Amino acid sequence: MTLKHLVFAFCFGFVLSGCSSEKHPSIESIGNIQKEPEQNPKMIEDFSEEEKEILTAEAVEQLAAKHAELAIEDFGPYLDLSPLQEEGSLWETLEFDYEGETLCLRVSASDKELAAAPYEGALDGAVVFREDFLELDSAEEEYAYDGSCADIRSGNLEHILDGNVEMSDYLTVTLPEGLRLSGFKYWMGSHGGAAFLREGEAEEELTLENAGFYAEKPLAGGIEIWGNGEIEQGTSVVKELTPLETGGWGKDALILRRGIRQTDSGTVWYIARTEREGSRISYCLYLSEEEYTEEEFLAVSETLCLMENAVY
């Protein structure tokens, strides 16, 4: 089974409670990559079998507008939800036309007790991708894929549909000299992310082995979108740093929770993540403790600013 068959059963996808606090996530359990939910005999709410509607781009936009409140019941008009009741899981792909191109919306759900996402309801993922993504046959092809795959709840839908998602859709940050931000990688974090590249490091060489918070051979750092609190799993606290009260960033007041954490594999990171009461999403910035000082990290974290299109 390739990553292609696993990537959409995330959550997270922030999706996110899929890794144990006793063991850091494996390559198969992070970066939007989750195994299909197991069946659960527990019965949940019954769904009616009314005539199904054809999914349109306008309908996708309306679903996306629900953001973190999007629930599996919202897809009732478009697909058969009975497998969720009868088998405890659901895994369906819907097609819709967008400006003459066929795009896909992968909907995955599990019983509420099995849901891998911190969203209310049983919805695990609602991911938009181009039809050609289904033709990828290897992890190498997926890492090099130039299209966008992203959960409709987690960002700018127009950019997702147009295939040009960037981290700047979500936030801006000023990096230390000598680092640059990679393009948006859907397989980083639970809902995507970007790596910090040093001079001479090629974006084409990024994989889950060298890019990401739980990478075995990590780069200098990165920014990823996770479920609230999930990135702390599989880590231990080295030191808590002073939180940064942001004052809002144009929306509700946020706190940037800052500290030093060590993963089970031994990597030590400075980490700053957004925290808001009731939020299911965290934007997490992390920087190598071996290469940067605490003062440098604090200075970088103070430049982090969420954009209006960010979902939190």
3-state SS, the chain, equals: CCHHHCHHHCCCCCCCCCCCCCCCCCHHHCCCCCCCCCCCCCCCCCCCCCCCCCCCHHHHHHHHCCHHHCCHHHHCCCCCCHHHHHCCEEEEEEEEEECCEEEEEEEEEECCCCCCCCCCCCEEEEEEEEHHHHHCCCHHHHHHCCCCCEECCCCCHHHHHHCCCCHHHCEECCCCCCEEECCCECCCCCCCEEEEEECCCCHHHCCCCCCCCCCCCCCCEEEEEEECCHHHCCEEEEEECCCEECCCCCCCCCEEEEEEEEECCCCEEEEEEEECCCCCEEEEEEEECCCCCHHHHHHHHCCCEECCCCCC
Q: Does the structure show a pLDDT above 60 at 23?
A: no
**pLDDT score, position 312:** 57
Given a cut of 60, is residue 76 above it in pLDDT?
yes
Q: Residue 112 falls within a domain, yes or no?
A: yes
Q: What is the pLDDT of residue 107?
A: 92
Lowest-pLDDT range, 17-21, 85-89, 130-134? 17-21
Range with lowest mean pLDDT among 128-137, 177-186, 213-222: 128-137
pLDDT higher at 254 or 26: 254
State mean pLDDT over 4-18.
36
34 and 150 fall within a common domain: yes
Residues 97 and 31 in one domain: yes
Say what the pTM is: 0.70
Residue range 88-126, pLDDT digits in tens: 788 899 999 998 889 999 998 876 554 444 433 467 788
pLDDT mean over 220-249 = 83
State whether 102 and 229 are in the same domain: no
The predicted model gives 145-149 an average pLDDT of 70
Of 96, 130, 162, the one marking the end of a domain is 162
Domain finish residue from 112, 145, 162: 162
Q: Which of 19-28, 70-79, 129-138 is the least confident region?
A: 19-28
CATH code of 195's domain: 3.40.1000
Q: Tens digit of pLDDT for each residue in 184-213?
A: 888 888 778 999 999 999 988 888 888 889
Q: Where is the domain boundary, 162, 185, 205?
A: 162
> At residue 211, what is the residue type?
A
Give the best-scoring range by mean pLDDT among 142-146, 163-167, 282-286, 306-310. 282-286
Separation of alpha carbons 260 and 282, rounded Å: 16
Confidence of residue 10 (pLDDT cuts 50, 70, 90): very low
The domain tally of the chain equals 2
What pLDDT, on a 0 to 100 scale, did the predictor assign at position 111? 66
Same domain, 213 and 234: yes
| Residue 89, amino acid | S
Residue 311 falls within a domain, yes or no? no
Same domain, 245 and 130: no
Q: Does residue 155 share a domain with residue 48?
A: yes
pLDDT attached to residue 54: 93
Domain of residue 156, residue span:
3-162
Asked, for residue 84, whether it belongs to a domain, the answer is yes
The answer to which of 26-30, 67-71, 133-137 has the lowest mean pLDDT is 26-30
Mean pLDDT of 68-88: 85
